Structure 1
Amino acid sequence: MSLASSPTSSSLASGSSIGVGIIGLSASGGWAAASHLPALRALDGFDVRALSTSNPDSARRAGEQYGVPLAFGSAKELAESPDVDLVVVSVKAPDHYANVMAALNAGKMVLSEWPLGKNASETKELAETAQAKGIRTFIGLQARTSPHVRYLRDLIADGYVGDVLSTTLVGSGFAYGGTVDQGNVYLLDPANGATLLTIPFGHTIDALTMVLGEFADLDATVVTRYATARVAQTGEEVPKRTADQVAVQGVLESGTVVSAHYRGGLNRGTNFLWEINGTQGDIQITGPTGHLQIGPVTLRGARGENRELAELPLPAAYELPALADARTSPAYTIGHAYAGIREDLNQGTHRVADFTHAHHRQQLFDRIEEAAKRK
């Protein structure tokens, strides 16, 4: 859908700022305060005009704390505000569906954090609703818009490694091991949709497929090795029903062989390593955790007769000066996603993934789970 047919095109075509409303921006902090808010305020073209939380009192406190003029006690009120052009859904994954649907029913553009829904059914319904209403949507798979991943994609496309033979990926999911923070206990129930497969593995495998192409065939192992997890704040042992080991082997449509393994928790050794091996060279991507969508990461490469990997510095063309001070912050990759959204709305492009892509990606995870069940 072009900008000309967007529900808010009349206000955006003039070059005015996009009025943003954030669902889930809390006075107690959290992801929205650490990533979305600073990213939006660092960039031109956005104006954070509204927020909503679970009740009017907490919304008022958050509005005062962050200097946001409109504070609502429900997502519906925020979505229906005429001052809001783009609704940002930044709440726990089990609550995405209801909040996203409120925005769609109000006819507003919406950016939802990943995953879009708890399961394929919710994701499909939201994608189809947005398409039927002709509403522009964006999904928070921000690894694909991060500067390093875009640079990596271009290196591969330009033939840095020659023909890609194989790729190997190993990562740590941080929150899915033997301990869990009190606020993340909901991650241990797969019914909530926020699993090792969908979140850390999901963000990274989405970036991998953007760089190297989609899976033609795959096999998988998805298992739980920790029967319980210890709550860090209380020491309580709680049941753990979600997987803490995800291993996928397969072949991409290009013929590239893939081996990807994610483990719950953090390890004393390697916590993120992605290698791409080709006929003419090799590239290695490393980072402190398996959450590629947060970073930071380092690229190293070697090609031809050179056998020693050396850092591949990010060219200035991939950077945004407004985000230069946020390179080690969660706002960095989120900020590049917002820059992509602004570009898409100005130029009628589709660089940032939408809800249709979210449904497509959810189908890959369903394939992985089905493959694991066949064992």
Structure 2
Amino acid sequence: MTNTPLRIGIIGADIRASWAGASHIPAIEAQPGLKLAAVATRKEESAKAAANAFGAERWYANPYDLICDDSIDIVTVAVKVPAHRDLVLAALKAGKAVYCEAPLGATLVETEEMAAATGSLHTAIGLQGRLNPSVRRAIEIIASGKLGTLLSADVKATTFGYGPTTLSNYDYFNKAASGASFLTTTVAHVLDVVEAVLGPITEVDARTKLIWPTVSVVDTGETSHREIADHLDLIAETSQGASVSVQVLAGIESDPQFVMEVRGSKGTLMLRGHHLAGVQVGDLTLSASVPFALPDIPVATGNGLTADEFWAGAAINVGEVYASLARDLRIGTYHTPGFAHALHSSQLIAAVERAAVTGQRQLVPNALCLKRAAAVR
């Protein structure tokens, strides 16, 4: 492809929804090689408002019209999970590169279908935490052998979500049919960072709990009932031989943290984050007992027009995904975690769910094959 800016169309860039405005929009604006060409929602009024607020050239009240726009290079799907399948398949059929928020599908079957439809097209999945500059540097430290033989890792993670209260617009996260559960969102992001640093998880033993079965919907005064787990304890083995313990706590509205400590025979390293929404949002810091070069400066740091202080730094990791996808498109590589990676993540979460239900350790399908594929790519 030429050096002209890659033109991006975002489906779901509603000014009333914080995520696209806080992450995708500033991530695109920060990179001269990218251009927000169009936005789409389901209503003309909101589509026009989004185009005006975000500076998009075009707006569409029908997302499929955006997909059919021949000038669009990358279609970003940033809507609720149940709507992913039809939009993603349409974009792939139109020959577009596709960036979809995670999880890719509402079910494992949907994810398999979309991954199979990718062909040679470029895709990106919104498991953006693994592309954080500090995570990338941690990967390099371990690959260099400075930590020696990997012995263990301990991970503690929190999120403000899935606690005793919610807003009506987010209550769908509490329902099993939505596909956007505590496991497929929060836990999947945590485990993806673990896998980025230590290699694919090959075996899991997990226990889940439902701590808050009754949820107060604060903006309506109604009561909702949570249908999914909101707590996880997990022990895993990775392809690099490290034993990993993971605890993920929900409903934490003060002193949030992500802490991952890796211990080897010759040293240790630690990744830390402090965003209320979890490891995938905001920046991470790296420390180690061995010398290392400072992590790269993120390509994007700012907030979007609809962002409040809560979403500060939301564009950092999303910006790294766009930068990686743009490089792949320009030089013909496939380094950006795409829909095959999304399928592995869904298979991993399915294994976690089976382990929690059966009380028995579970193998993760294709984990070692994924490691071998990454090694030769």
TM over 0.5: yes
Distance 2:9 2:290 in 1: 47
Opposite residue 300 of structure 1, the aligned amino acid is S
Among 342, 353, 356, the alignment partner of 2:340 is: 356
1:42-53 correspondence to structure 2 within 5 Å: 42-53=30-41
1:319 match: 297
Residues 148-206 of structure 1 deviation map (CA, whole Å, 9 limit, x = unaligned):
11011111112332211000111112211111122210110122111121112111211
With over 3 angstroms needed to count, the CA separation of the structure-2 counterparts of 1:270 and 1:334, relative to structure 1, is closer
Among 306, 309, 321, the alignment partner of 1:337 is: 321
With over 3 angstroms needed to count, the CA separation of the structure-2 counterparts of 1:160 and 1:177, relative to structure 1, is farther
Identity across matched positions, percent:
32
2:145 match: 159
Q: Is the 8 A contact 2:12 2:79 kept in 1?
A: yes
Q: Is the 8 A contact 1:109 1:136 kept in 2?
A: yes
With over 3 angstroms needed to count, the CA separation of the structure-2 counterparts of 1:160 and 1:140, relative to structure 1, is same
Residues 277-314 of structure 1 deviation map (CA, whole Å, 9 limit, x = unaligned):
1111112222224621112222222259xxxxxxx783
| TM-score, structure 1 as length reference | 0.88
Residues 241-265 of structure 1 deviation map (CA, whole Å, 9 limit, x = unaligned):
1111112112222221111111111
Q: Is 1:113 matched up with 2:97?
A: no
CA drift at 1:269: 5.5
CA drift at 1:237: 2.3
Among 188, 197, 200, the alignment partner of 1:202 is: 188
Among 85, 91, 98, the alignment partner of 1:103 is: 91
Q: 5+ unaligned residues in a row in structure 2: which ranges? A: 304-310, 360-377
| TM-score, structure 2 as length reference | 0.88
Opposite residue 296 of structure 1, the aligned amino acid is D
1:44-123 correspondence to structure 2 within 5 Å: 44-123=32-111
Distance 2:314 2:89 in 1: 26
Larger RCO (alpha carbons 8 Å, 6+ apart): 2
Give 3-state SS (helix, strand or coil) of 1:110's partner: strand
Give 3-state SS (helix, strand or coil) of 2:39's partner: strand
With over 3 angstroms needed to count, the CA separation of the structure-2 counterparts of 1:221 and 1:266, relative to structure 1, is same
Q: Is 1:279 matched up with 2:265?
A: yes
2:289 match: 302
Distance 1:57 1:270 in 2: 37
Give 3-state SS (helix, strand or coil) of 1:323's partner: coil
Opposite residue 59 of structure 1, the aligned amino acid is A
Give 3-state SS (helix, strand or coil) of 2:183's partner: coil
Query: How many corresponding residue pairs?
Result: 351
CA drift at 1:18: 0.9
1:307 match: none
Residues 8-59 of structure 1 deviation map (CA, whole Å, 9 limit, x = unaligned):
xxxxx22221111000111324211111111101102111111100122221
CA RMSD, 1 decimal:
2.0
Q: Is the 8 A contact 2:13 2:40 kept in 1?
A: yes
Give 3-state SS (helix, strand or coil) of 2:207's partner: strand
